Structure 1
């Protein structure tokens, strides 16, 4: 076996006109070895096997299967090969597939991902791109389960983007996010671009739903739906999604509330995203400067009146937490399940029971203000219930406290004993024969007569 240095020397000597025999004598190698390396029949650093390759019999089957299905899992292929007598490891299979280049390139997928992409020009103020991002493992204190959702809106011309956290991807949450993000971006563009999300259009046909048509009319924008399998038409928002997940969500602490996380996101967009440099025909600028020149239309005075509902559990203090504030309910609903209902644009919220009865209405406080909004009647009712419970409940018992039977228990025990004696006396017709008490005086003459009798018998 020749090394790479030996192989380079052999080829250099051959280029100088040396014969194979002369090269063999010079390097101390066999002529057949030199000829094999000069003809590229052998690879430097790879020793020729002296025994048959145990993987070789399976190459044809592997080649055929991967040609039929280029995306076939190697684990599945290993299961099939084991039924055909394959006894080597899964790691050997993957290494051989990789080294022998047995897995072909899928032409259909390559045409979708490697096809030429034209640069789409976006004039200022023309288009806003929208998309949802799934964010796994939110803080447990949010109560959102295993997944949070982030609606991202990005101006296609400048690249400025904003986002809004939501517990679900329903249409009311979408409308709420559209309104808040548009106001954060500074206004409205002429068109909104979406992929085929069911809250905007019918996914099969791509035609807008009747419920979302009212939203578009309220904001005075046209709606553009991406064609199927053409997600790269909204690449600006896709890049914003990648940034939000990798740079903001990945480093979010566990001890933040939803409102604090939203504040952190808005600050990240202003400090990090809006200051990104951009090159234009007029020279270097920033994302914020480009966005300021887009001349966006002002949004409507009030949001579209969608009805936003979220489930909550009432605390033991008869308070309901909603967007960083707490709102009171009657004390009899403590620890109960309720629904907070809010019409977007309204200044009040309704708290509804599971039987769809409105039991409280409060003026909406600013998000994340940390205030406690309480109705005076709720306060009085809660105090009365708490004082009544404190007056009758007494102090709690200690685990190692001594508590002997009380007067009532003693009276009940005396009654049981009396009843038992009465039952015993009335159980027979005749009086029981009294048992004489055992005498404590010992008569020694009895022992003497017994001893005299034994001596007589002897």
Structure 2
């Protein structure tokens, strides 16, 4: 303000510089608007400059991508500064696009609930419709309320049988079960419109020795641990996951849960999720899984195979193109394929999930070969250079067409060709 006022009074730049005790070039830069008060001029190159175009493009592709995800990506590209430096650059350059819908959302009042170690696990489904392989993906998420440690199970259905399978798979990955299971009012566990546990689910909870606690109506934040975990999985894993099948999704998600999820810092503490989870005393699991009966529908391919959980199982060739049922009792080493009418077609030994094995019975192989070979034609192809002049029948038809003219044989008049040629040259 002072140098501007002195300049308006007619002072020279040199006189102003001597008066304020600064260099002439500094005074001139302020007067010309090249510098601003309180903003120091950079003396080094900002290391974020070379990564800014990539970050801008990522925000153009996905305005809601998390900064933690972008930080991992730019770190792999060579960004060597810390995460706070990265986020400070995002804010200073205002790189994230504005979203009016998200900006207008408002939070709700909440209170932190104390969760003793080993006391509770929260369950919920994550439904993903836009998958690379074209079918809907259901992810069952189980998160320990005290530590926040989670594991997840990928499924192609969210019915009760697949829920039971997912619960056992997740508890096996966690190494045990807490005393209480917290669920929202999913119809496969809780009777709709009440707080009663479904009669078909009661034996499941008894089998694992756990109690079931439904969330209060319209209080989804009561299971905020699993809700935050689902948001974390969606933004940090699913949004950038490179997968092409349900089986690949499971492998990727297991790796993400251990190498990323367990290394998070638990909110409000200096401990990681894995460190807090080590203090949770979980109940042991029963020696065998609950025998849930899983049923899925599959279409028989042209090679008389049915695709189930990353493997292929054979059927008689007569079922090609039809929808068949696949029945499997969880924990059993066999699965049954039934016809559309419900009758048993064949039983197979179950291959490990995602093993990409083809299980084909010898009789199915022989039957398929018989069908395929029966469709082959061993006749020689039609000859391409025969001499077949017009037959008598053709000549008779030709005689009817030309009337009185003789039609015993075609007559080629070269004069006609000569006239055509001469007419073409004239034109």
TM superposition score category, shorter chain reference: 0.5 to 0.7
- What residue is the counterpart of 1:362 in the other structure? 348
Structure 1 residue 160 displacement after superposition: 0.5
Task: Report the CA distance shift for 1:417/1:311 in structure 2 as closer, same or farther (over 3 A).
Answer: farther
Structure 2 counterparts to residues 17-416 of structure 1, below 5 A: 114-115=108-109, 117-140=110-133, 143-144=134-135, 147-253=136-242, 256-278=244-266, 284-390=270-376, 392=377
Determine the C-alpha separation between the residues in 2 that align with 1:322 and 1:205. Answer: 36
1:298-351, CA deviations, whole angstroms, 9 ceiling, x for partnerless residues? 212222111111111112111111111111111222222111111111110111
Question: Structure 1: which 4+ aligned runs deviate by more than 6 Å?
Answer: 401-407, 413-418
Determine the C-alpha separation between the residues in 1 that align with 2:229 and 2:203. Answer: 28
TM-score (norm 2): 0.64
Structure 1 residue 129 displacement after superposition: 0.1
Structure 1 residue 280 displacement after superposition: 8.2
Task: Report the CA distance shift for 1:374/1:403 in structure 2 as closer, same or farther (over 3 A).
Answer: same
TM-score (norm 1): 0.60
Structure showing greater radius of gyration is 1
- What residue is the counterpart of 1:18 in the other structure? none
Any idea what SS the aligned residue of 2:122 has? strand
Task: Report the CA distance shift for 1:374/1:275 in structure 2 as closer, same or farther (over 3 A).
Answer: same
* Structure 1 spans left out of the alignment, 5+ residues: 6-108, 425-458
Task: Report the CA distance shift for 1:124/1:327 in structure 2 as closer, same or farther (over 3 A).
Answer: same
Structure 1 residue 402 displacement after superposition: 8.6
Is the contact between residue 135 and residue 245 of structure 1 (CA under 8 Å) also seen in structure 2?
no
Structure 1 residue 416 displacement after superposition: 9.5
Determine the C-alpha separation between the residues in 1 that align with 2:336 and 2:114. Answer: 46
Task: Report the RMSD for the aligned CA atoms in angstroms.
Answer: 3.2
